[in-house]
Amino acid sequence: MRAALQSEIGQDKLEVVEDMEAVGFGPGKVRLRIKATGLCHSDLSAMSGVLPQPAPFIPGHEGSGEITDVGDGVTQLKIGDRVLVCWLPPCGHCPSCKRGQGHLCLEAFGNVATPNFRRAGHEIFGFAGTGTFAEEVVVPAGCAIPIPDDLPHDIAALIGCGVTTGLGAAINTAKVEAGSSVAVIGCGGVGISVIQGAKVQGAAQIVAVDPVASRREAALRFGATEAVAPDAFGDAKNRITAGEGFDYVFEVVGKSATTQTAYEMTRRGGSVVVVGAGALDDTYSINMFSLFFDEKKILPSMYGGGDVLRSYDRTIALWRAGRVDLAGLITHRVRLGEINDALDQMRTGVALRTCIEL
Ligand SMILES: [Zn+2]
Ligand SMILES: [Zn+2]
């Protein structure tokens, strides 16, 4: 089957190959025919080495498809079921899951170090234990979450990562209060989802901050009340909050420098919400006086910061009610053979999300 392969960390192009094999099928596993997959910024970060990932590997962790085979002991899924891929599936019984924090469950993360594919006798990993830039994947049954018939695969794929991450940061982690002021640094697919989450929560002002003009225009369509380039952020803060700072500032880049900006733009007692996935060697530090005296809350938010299965259901309900626009996030579409175009669209910032159709 066809798949997009990265041979070594640091390469910026993928090789589309025809002779990939999905391996590991057996008890507790399911085989999926991937129909659509989104390109998430984390895929680029894994390719460049910012996020740890063994190689060679197949990127992609935001996917949706159909079950084609079910291993022994899997009772909740059957052949033909439409499912989205959950790259960090909650096991349901560990201490994190019992607390309702299934997004912190590490039970399935052992998959990350287990090869998911084979080609010409060589073992090949799948990003985050999945690897959805492939026509076929084998994953633990818990990674395959059934979706309703009215939810298209391209939208379901986005719910598998970017949309859940962004909406959840605003709704679960920050619990944005109605009438509050919000700023969002970084307005790709995840940042736009934060904006939509803040709008759902009833924020009064939502300021989008991004260096790319097309993203600022998109942010306004999705609910931002104002969109500025980074060098105009300080002026916007002074004008909108009378110099005090925003109630919530979301960092959706994953860098210490933008986290520092977020911290400075947050009012005393407000919340800095860190949504971006950063590097092991990028350290954020803060002086102890400010940490105490300004009482700004630093709230990291991974994968939506809550029970992911509940978050999926809530997202689907909001989408059906027309309260969030998910189709509009897909600004570009390519076939797997054009995957390198998708990478360029993401790197230059012209795409909110590129959907790869398989
Ligand atoms: Zn668990
Ligand atoms: Zn992702």
Distances (CA, A) of 216 to 7, 315, 323: 35, 23, 20
Q: In angstroms, what is the span from residue 114 Cα to ligand 1's centroid?
A: 19
Q: In angstroms, what is the span from residue 167 Cα to ligand 1's centroid?
A: 22
- Can you read off the two tokens belonging to residue 4? 């997009």
- pLDDT for the residue numbered 107: 85
| Residues around the ion ligand 1 (C-beta < 5 A) | 91, 94, 97, 105, 107
Q: Report the distance separating Cα 156 and Cα 266, nearest Å.
A: 33
Q: In angstroms, what is the span from residue 56 Cα to ligand 2's centroid?
A: 19
- pLDDT for the residue numbered 114: 87
Q: What does DSSP say about strands 21-22 and 15-17: parallel, antiparallel, or unpaired?
A: unpaired
Q: In angstroms, what is the span from residue 128 Cα to ligand 2's centroid?
A: 9
- pLDDT for the residue numbered 70: 98
Q: Note the ligand closest to the C-alpha atom of 254.
A: 2
Q: In angstroms, what is the span from residue 104 Cα to ligand 2's centroid?
A: 15
Q: In angstroms, what is the span from residue 337 Cα to ligand 2's centroid?
A: 21
- pLDDT for the residue numbered 113: 79
Measured at the alpha carbon of residue 51, what is the angle toward residues 299 and 118, in degrees to the nearest 5?
A: 135
Q: Which neighbouring-strand residues pair with 248?
A: 182, 271
Low-confidence ranges of the chain (pLDDT < 50): none
- Mapping DSSP to helix (H, G, I), strand (E, B) and coil, where does residue 230 land? helix
Q: In angstroms, what is the span from residue 112 Cα to ligand 2's centroid?
A: 15
Q: Are 255 and 276 in contact (CB under 8 A)?
A: yes
- CA nearest to 135, candidates 8, 257, 5: 5
- The string over 225-252, giving b where at least 16 C-beta atoms fall within 10 Å of a residue's C-beta and e elsewhere, is bbbbeeeebeebbeebbeeebbbbbbbb
Nearby residues of 131 by Cβ (< 8 Å), 6 or more positions away: 3, 57, 58, 59, 60, 61, 116, 117, 125, 137
Q: In angstroms, what is the span from residue 97 Cα to ligand 1's centroid?
A: 4
- Per-residue pLDDT tens for 79-118? 999 999 999 999 999 999 999 888 899 887 767 778 999 9
Q: In angstroms, what is the span from residue 231 Cα to ligand 2's centroid?
A: 28
- pLDDT for the residue numbered 112: 74
Distances (CA, A) of 86 to 90, 145, 193, 343, 349: 9, 7, 18, 22, 25
- pLDDT for the residue numbered 110: 65
Q: In angstroms, what is the span from residue 105 Cα to ligand 1's centroid?
A: 4
Q: In angstroms, what is the span from residue 348 Cα to ligand 2's centroid?
A: 18
- pLDDT for the residue numbered 120: 93
Q: Note the ligand closest to the C-alpha atom of 90.
A: 1
